[in-house]
Amino acid sequence: MADVIRLEGICKSYNVGLPTETEVLHGIDLALHEGEFVALMGPSGSGKSTLLNIVGLLDRPTSGTLFINGEDTTELGDAAITTLRGRAIGFVFQYHYLISAFTAHENVVMPMLLDRGHPDAAMERRADELLDWVGLSRWRDHKATNISGGQQQRVAIARALAMDPSLVLADEPTGNLDSVSADAVFELMRRINRDRGTSFLIVTHNLDLAQRCDRIVEVVDGRISGRVIPTLDAR
Ligand SMILES: Nc1ncnc2c1ncn2[C@@H]1O[C@H](COP(=O)(O)OP(=O)(O)OP(=O)(O)O)[C@@H](O)[C@H]1O
Ligand SMILES: [Mg+2]
């Protein structure tokens, strides 16, 4: 199976060149196969968000190589990185970062508008399709602030899927939700993964949810621990 991402010897230091320079990722090797649904776990401060930001092309590694859909991203310039990020990767964060003055529908249209530069009927239809997919058609014209936290997170998931990315990165996507909403949001991501084949890498502190992923990767002190944590859905 092809790898949607492959990391080879990824290191990351913050404050490079300053007295406070610290290496927080120490040579990460990791591959995610197409269609895999993987949990990333580990103690607070172990480097999970740092790793996710690098995989998501939001930050650059200090050294090492990152392949996305087989393409070496190391040598890409900023413009190429921005385009690749927009088209290949969807993001879901603990806080949804929806634009509060915009409706659910407008928030989902936004990534397509940014990519194409002008609105068209196809992106309007696609946003409707995605809102239907996440079960929020009737909230289409509600402002993002006027829906519940769980609904906001489902809009954020619809938005993440707008460009039909091969990979969705989620950093504690259920961290702010009650357990019932967390479960619904998790199951929605699982269904998208099963129905569309989208790969997911999800940071979570919730072992119950992590065990419903294909595989759990554990980061401890900036390294992959290699510990095998059993899951219920292991393939
Ligand atoms: N912008 C930054 N500048 C300097 N140090 C940073 C920066 N971001 C993170 N760090 C440090 O890097 C280490 C890893 O942080 P990171 O946010 O990746 O951890 P995490 O595993 O996501 O933790 P949590 O579970 O609490 O979210 C921590 O020691 C943190 O203080
Ligand atoms: Mg984090």
How confident is the prediction along the chain (235 residues), in pLDDT tens digits per residue? 689 999 999 999 999 999 999 999 999 999 999 999 999 999 999 999 999 999 999 999 999 999 999 999 998 999 999 999 999 999 998 887 899 999 999 999 999 999 999 999 999 999 999 999 889 999 999 999 999 999 999 999 999 999 999 999 999 999 988 899 899 999 999 999 999 999 999 999 999 999 999 999 999 999 999 899 999 855 4
Residues present in the chain in total: 235
Neighbours of 51 (CB within 10 A): 29
The pLDDT, as a whole number, for residue 176 is: 87
Cβ 24 under 6 angstroms from ligand 1? yes
The pLDDT, as a whole number, for residue 96 is: 77
Cβ 221 under 6 angstroms from ligand 1? no
The pLDDT, as a whole number, for residue 234 is: 52
Question: What's the CA-to-centroid distance between 25 and ligand 1, angstroms?
Answer: 10
Tell the residue nearest (CA) to atom 5 of ligand 1.
Answer: 14
Q: Where are the alpha helices (DSSP H) in 30-176?
A: 48-55, 78-88, 104-116, 121-133, 149-160
CB 31 within 8 Å of CB 7: yes
Question: What's the CA-to-centroid distance between 49 and ligand 1, angstroms?
Answer: 7
CB 163 within 8 Å of CB 111: yes
The pLDDT, as a whole number, for residue 95 is: 80
CB 229 within 8 Å of CB 209: no
The fold of the 3-224 domain, in CATH, is Rossmann fold (3.40.50)
Strand partners, 32: 5
Cβ 20 under 6 angstroms from ligand 1? no
Question: What's the CA-to-centroid distance between 171 and ligand 2, angstroms?
Answer: 7
* CB-based contacts of 49, cutoff 8 Å, min separation 6: 171, 203
Residues in the 5 Å CB sphere of ion ligand 2: 49
In a 3-state reduction of DSSP, which class is residue 113?
helix
Question: What's the CA-to-centroid distance between 22 and ligand 1, angstroms?
Answer: 11
